[in-house]
Amino acid sequence: LLQAEGLTPRLLSLAIQHEYQTSYYTDALHLREVPRLLAEYPGLMDTLHLHSENKPAGPILFFMAFIELFGPGDASAYASACCIAVLAALVVPATFHMVRALTQSREAAFCAAALTVLCPALALGLPGMDQLTPLFTCLLISTWTCALRMDSRSAAIGFGASLAVALFFSPLILVIGFFLFGLTVLHVAPRAQREVRLRAVARQVALAMLTLVGLYVAAFALTGYDAIAVFREILGSKHDWDANLTRQEILGRPYWKAVISDPWEFALGTGWLIGLLALFRLRDALRTRTGTWLIEVLALLQIAIMPQLGFVRGESARLWLFLVPLLVLPAGMELAQWTARRRALALACLLCVLVTIFLNMRFKG
């Protein structure tokens, strides 16, 4: 049905309003008139649709804002889809800034951003809310890197605020805590001024956590939104499912099958070539052990542990989009070492993969 519509504004409106395509718009319509919505949200979660039922209130409020501005129907759905497109496009400069902050290499940052532009899952996922998660990843890593290296209080506060907003949309972003922790260890590891750095890191962590907790305490005081109760509901995943089976088992996604199939699907979603470039860089990094090789290895380790965690299984091309900035980090470093002609050829190949995937996509009505 959606495929028959072609690439038109109507397609975006249909996708946004479909109760199982995004779900959030549908539930935003239903919950508009609920008094003290945020205070009642934990108790309402088991009445929500497919994607909304295990998410915080952020996505629903996002669409509710457009419904209030433009009214229910195609206008608000299309406006929200356009906003998602603009925010998803910001992933490209955000990736550039993140890679440059981590590597101090403008050329590697440019190559990483170029690869992000042509990432199939990011380019073809419109108008899914998962397209916004790489933006949170870049923001968190960039602000924390700045807080560590410059001992910046404002960056630490920015990190705490960014984390609060990210968790209002999806708790899955907490997974990159592994990378952030590793980044922190690498910062304090050198013996020179280790004690000074440890004290500085302790201050930054305290500031970030105070900001995070303070914002949620303020939200609870002003609106009654109980973030802890919401996360308990998300972890419980009891909504309309068999109590004897986990959500993933009911969906036919056993753990060991997902461990194998999810990385494969993520590689497809990133166009194969990005993953290959990252592996080439890993080989060179382990051999030469120079520059930012530990950070690049850490980024790939973050991706490698994702299927082992088993938090989400299946649809990794969509659900793992927040890991794309970490994949293009070593891939961009690799591409930066190539000649201009070889870079152009690599990007042309990735474009061909992107077009091929698009032409073979099938949509369920």
What pTM did the predictor assign?
Answer: 0.92
Average pLDDT over residues 10-21: 83
Which three-class secondary structure string do you get for the chain? CHHHHCCCHHHHHHHHHCCCCCCHHHHHHHHCCCCCHHHHHHHHHHHCCCCCCCCCCHHHHHHHHHHHHHCCCHHHHHHHHHHHHHHHHCHHHHHHHHHHHHHCCHHHHHHHHHHHHCCHHHHHCCCCHHHHHHHHHHHHHHHHHHHHHHCCHHHHHHHHHHHHHHHHHCHHHHHHHHHHHHHHHHHHCCCCCHHHHHHHHHHHHHHHHHHHHHHHHHHHHHHCCCHHHHHHHHHHCCCCCCCCCCHHHHCCCCHHHHHHHHHHHHHHHCCCHHHHHHHHHHHHHHHHCCCCHHHHHHHHHHHHHHHHHCCCCCCHHHHCHHHHHHHHHHHHHHHHCCCHHHHHHHHHHHHHHHHHHHHCCCCCC
Rounded (5°) CA angle 213-218-220: 95
Q: Which of 228, 237, 116 is nearest to 167 (CA)?
A: 228
Question: What would the pLDDT profile of 316-358 be if each residue is shown by its tens digit?
Answer: 889 999 999 999 999 999 999 999 999 999 999 999 999 999 8
Work out the pLDDT band at 239, boundaries 50, 70, 90.
very low
Q: For residue 242, is pLDDT > 80?
A: no
Return phi, psi of residue 354, to 5°. -60, -45
**Per-chain mean pLDDT for the chain:** 89
pLDDT on residue 237: 58
Question: What would the pLDDT profile of 258-291 be if each residue is shown by its tens digit?
Answer: 888 899 999 999 999 999 999 999 999 999 999 8
Q: For residue 236, is pLDDT > 90?
A: no
- Alpha carbon 45 to its chain centroid, in Å, reads 22
pLDDT on residue 215: 97
Question: What would the pLDDT profile of 46-83 be if each residue is shown by its tens digit?
Answer: 888 888 888 999 999 999 999 999 999 889 999 999 99
pLDDT on residue 243: 46
For residue 25, the tally of other CB atoms under 10 A from its CB is 29
Question: What would the pLDDT profile of 180-219 be if each residue is shown by its tens digit?
Answer: 999 999 999 988 888 999 999 999 999 999 999 999 999 9
Question: What would the pLDDT profile of 149-189 be if each residue is shown by its tens digit?
Answer: 999 999 999 999 999 999 999 999 999 999 999 999 999 99
- Name the token pair of 116: 């992000």
Residue type at 237 in one-letter notation: S
pLDDT on residue 364: 52
pLDDT on residue 351: 96
